[in-house]
Amino acid sequence: AQGLELFDAAGVLASEAALVPVRVDTATLRLRPETTPLMLRGLVRVSNRRQADAGTHRSQSFARTLLRLEPAEQEARVLELVRIEVASTLGHTSSDAIKPRQAFTDLGFDSLTAVDLRNRLNAVMGLRLPATLVFDYPTPAALAGFIRAEVLGTHSEPTAAVGTTGTTADDPIVIIGMSCRYPGGVSGPKDLWRLLSTAGDAVTGIPSDRGWDVDGLFDPDPDRPGTSYTREGGFLHDATHFDAEFFGISPREAVAMDPQQRLLL
């Protein structure tokens, strides 16, 4: 009977893009509103005051627990809690699979799992952590250090925290390469610096490898359609140097493609 009633309700709301018949126990959702999925929070009517009071109580309780420990024990305790929640978010059965200095991106985190982890940590510790948590503090160890400082009232800015971890010998974030391609024969950062430092000119003649009728393209009349009243410009050379066959592109299509798309490939 309930299913048929929901089916009839769906007929009335046929203009909606997607409908899901679901039975929701709102009383259960109200018990821990901070862990309620975002999609269902419109069903839970809990005052902000109540949520704030509950979060403050958990935060104070967790802070008191940490204050009873030595600094090294505090770090270990917070790190283990972080590893447990990270493991739970990713579906691991044990926190042993989570290495303290392994980058969250290497562990498989994306924007959705990052928010899920934030919500779990907020619920456990009574905090109000930002959604960009795993991007500001890219390893479990860095995140644990931030949370410990946040709980004990010695919070620092994310940039400072990342900078501190960046001085370690096993820094998980390294620059492995830089690249760029610009007019004027610039095929890398060194070429770009050379062009800028020497006040070089990146304007060249129209390239002859684009399949264009270079001779017929020029016309001194700027109002004539399909022509150009200049013979020079800032062109990306070697834009045709890509393996069209590898991408399943015919030679004729390759010639007609936008040079920037060819360059990307």
CB–CB of 30/44 below 8 Å? yes
CA distance 82 to 120: 10
Q: How many helices (H) and strands (E) does the chain have?
A: 13, 2
pLDDT at 167 over 60: no
Percentage of residues in the chain having pLDDT higher than 90: 5
List, for residues 34-68, the tens digit of each pLDDT value: 566 666 666 766 555 444 444 455 556 777 777 88
Task: Give the mean pLDDT of 175-193.
Answer: 84
What does the domain layout of the chain look like in residue ranges? 1-46, 50-174, 189-264
Predicted pLDDT at 46: 53
CA distance 181 to 234: 12
What is the CATH T-level fold of the domain 50-174, as seen in this structure?
1.10.1200
> Which range (23-32, 128-137, 193-202, 218-227) has the least confidence?
23-32
CA distance 102 to 163: 16
CA distance 251 to 262: 12
CB–CB of 195/202 below 8 Å? yes
Cα 25–30–31 angle (5° rounding)?
105
List, for residues 227-257, the tens digit of each pLDDT value: 888 888 888 877 777 788 888 888 888 877 8
pLDDT at 212 over 70: yes
- Taking Cα atoms as reference points, which of 96, 100, 99, 101 lies closest to residue 169? 101
CB atoms within 10 A of CB 143: 26
Percentage of residues in the chain having pLDDT higher than 70: 79
Q: Provide the 3-class DSSP secondary structure of residue 204.
A: strand
Predicted pLDDT at 159: 39
What is the pTM for the complete model shown? 0.40
Predicted pLDDT at 156: 40
Predicted pLDDT at 31: 66
Which band of pLDDT confidence, cut at 50, 70 and 90, is reported for residue 132?
confident
Task: Give the mean pLDDT of 21-39.
Answer: 68
Predicted pLDDT at 242: 78
- Taking Cα atoms as reference points, which of 147, 148, 142 lies closest to residue 161? 142
> Which range (8-22, 40-54, 120-134, 143-157) has the least confidence?
40-54
Predicted pLDDT at 47: 52
Q: Mean pLDDT over all residues of the chain? A: 77
> Which stretches of the chain are DSSP H helices?
2-12, 26-31, 48-67, 71-90, 104-107, 111-125, 133-136, 140-152, 158-165, 189-197, 214-217, 251-256, 259-264
Which band of pLDDT confidence, cut at 50, 70 and 90, is reported for residue 197?
very high
List, for residues 94-117, the tens digit of each pLDDT value: 888 899 998 988 888 888 888 888
List, for residues 71-84, the tens digit of each pLDDT value: 888 888 889 889 99
